[in-house]
Amino acid sequence: DIDDVGHKYHLELVLEDILDKDSTVNCTAEVLYHLGNKNIAPDVQFTIEGELKNTDEADNTFYNRIKSLEKELVAENIPDSHGNVSPEMEPIRLLAWVASGYVIWQNSTENTKFQLAQIKHVKQVKRSDEYLEFDYMILLHEMVSQEIFPWQMTVLWHPQHGVQVTQDSRQPKHALE
Amino acid sequence: DQVLHIVPETFQQVQHLQHLCSTLLLDLWKPLLPEDIWAGEDLHIRVPAPLVQELKDSLDQHMISYKVLIPDVQELVDRSTPRERSSHRQVPEGYVYTQYHPMEKIYQWMTQIQKSNSELVTQHYLGKTIENRTMYYLQISQPSDKTKKIIWMDCGIHAREWISPAFCQWFVKEILQNYKTDSKISRFLQNLDLYVLPVLNIDGYIYSWEKDRLWRKNRSPHMNGTCYGTDLNRNFNSSWGSIGVSYNCSSEIFCGSGPESEPETRAVAQFIERKKSDILCYLTIHSYGQYILTPYGSTTKPPSNSEELMYVAEKAAAALMGKYGTSYEVGPTSLILYSNSGSSRDWAHMIGIPFSYTFELRDKGTHGFVLPPDQIQPTCEETM
């Protein structure tokens, strides 16, 4: 408890590579939830002990595949109702996971617990520069209220420049119908 | 492999045959033991294929005559093995337990399960849903003269938690396939009856297949049909409407217009109320989160038997982890998850059922409600 400021949490955690369960890295972090204005995202400071795996090869493979598509990529329901994701869509899903992490961070309070539930829709947006751009409609599940929040997010990505969410907005519940 | 028929004529021949049996480790079909080989008595030996020639040579050398009784053991085995489609099949042939099934298939499965296991399984009417669909539960009960205590398990109270009904079906299959051979299960059934409700929220489940995969509640209409669904797990008469709910129909945790306002809730509650003095354990299966939750959600005040409840739950979590390393958190909902009122688990405990648990199955959010089918088997195996 920090008077007049908020609540600070000190965390020790282990990061696990989704694609390689044996690859883990220790991490320490400090999260400060602000008192008062709940519309400000919590402050996060972190240190990673060691290095994250190099993913250049996979990044470039994906990048080149999308760059060489004749028509812009369009897909929906990732995963499908049964939980299946086609191999070509795996990177699209991973990108959404990362980007949704940013959206979740920006919208979290001490009383929320968000998870990405599903990608309803994704559309690639043509760009003249070297970046890839995807317009996602995702569903976020919030554990305490059990609500499903449709959320739109515009995601930019480049193998060397990483992920950026340039725009995001919560959608009305019936945006899906 | 071949089976040879030999009638030894002399004591030396008997000795030689005994020697061959022990050095070559031959499979004696008749008699059972080498010391029972006698001159003038029939001898049947099964000889592994690689040794057939060597053995025959040795018999020739010692002037022991033989006949080939079975020229190809495997061929005989294949011919006499009952084919898959035998009438003694315990579980519906071809039913794939590692896939998610729509409601009509589950209805068919229940009928089939009862038909092929009628000595143990009976299907019973429980009630009707708001959209007038029939709710059935399966009773797994070994005939006996003593009255047995009951374990009740329901699945699918929340529509989108597909792994839950998948688990109930798996559970039934496991019990039926193994009760004759597994001593733990057969002991269980000697003393307990199992009542399984594979899908509690049938309308919601169907809706999640046809219209909205992430639907949670039932399908009762409110406000002139402009809003649908009550959260059945907020609708039971356990501190109903007090905490962790919404009074607004558009919320996922809408508790309904009153306790037991929903036909599905009433169907379950009335049955359990009637049988409560015989019910030892109430289990309700959900996803996701990997928890074994004990009462209560509506208050942090511990239940009267909380030590025992925790002890059993911790044992369960440890056994579960022993299978694939999956870790489950154990404890009262109000302390480790969130506050809620009107849950079926709280209600079951409040009316006197000593052991009442909510299981939140895999995973921890990576796939959440949309758990891929390749996780059905490990999830069900570890939970079993």
In chain B, the residue whose alpha carbon lies closest to the alpha carbon of A80 is: B370
CA distance A42 to B193: 52
The pLDDT of residue B88 is 46
Q: Is the pLDDT of residue A33 over 60?
A: yes
Is B93 one of the catalytic residues?
Answer: no
| Domains within chain B, CATH numbers bracketed | 2-78 (3.30.70.340), 103-383 (3.40.630.10)
| Domains within chain A, CATH numbers bracketed | 1-53 (3.10.450.10), 54-176 (3.10.450.10)
Amino acid occupying residue B318? A
CA distance A55 to B86: 53
Q: What is the ipTM of this complex?
A: 0.83
The verdict on pTM exceeding 0.80 is no
Distance from CA of A22 to the nearest CA of B (A): 14
Note whether A147 contacts B: Cβ–Cβ < 8 A: yes
Q: Is the pLDDT of residue A9 over 90?
A: yes
Is the Cβ pair A83, B289 closer than 8 Å? no
> In chain B, what residues touch A148 (CB-CB under 8 Å)?
214, 252
Facing residue for B213 by CB, picked from A81, A115, A116:
A81
Is the Cβ pair A82, B214 closer than 8 Å? no
Q: How do the pLDDT tens digits run along chain B, 384 residues long? A: 898 999 998 888 999 999 888 888 888 888 878 888 888 888 898 888 888 888 898 899 888 989 888 888 887 777 665 544 444 445 566 899 999 999 999 999 999 999 999 999 999 999 999 999 999 999 999 999 889 999 999 999 999 999 999 999 999 999 999 999 999 999 999 999 999 999 999 999 999 999 999 999 999 999 999 999 999 999 999 999 999 999 999 999 999 999 999 999 999 999 999 999 999 999 999 999 999 999 999 999 999 999 999 999 999 999 999 999 999 999 999 999 999 999 999 999 999 999 999 999 999 888 999 999 999 999 999 998
Q: Mark out chain B residues that contact chain A at CB-CB < 8 A.
A: 99-100, 208-209, 212-214, 216, 231, 246, 250-253, 289, 338, 365-373, 375
The pLDDT of residue B85 is 44
The pLDDT of residue B376 is 93
Facing residue for B252 by CB, picked from A81, A82, A145:
A145
- Give the mutation candidate from B214, B293, B340 for the A interface (greatest A CB count, under 10 A): B214
Give me the catalytic one of B161, B260, B360, B382.
Answer: B360
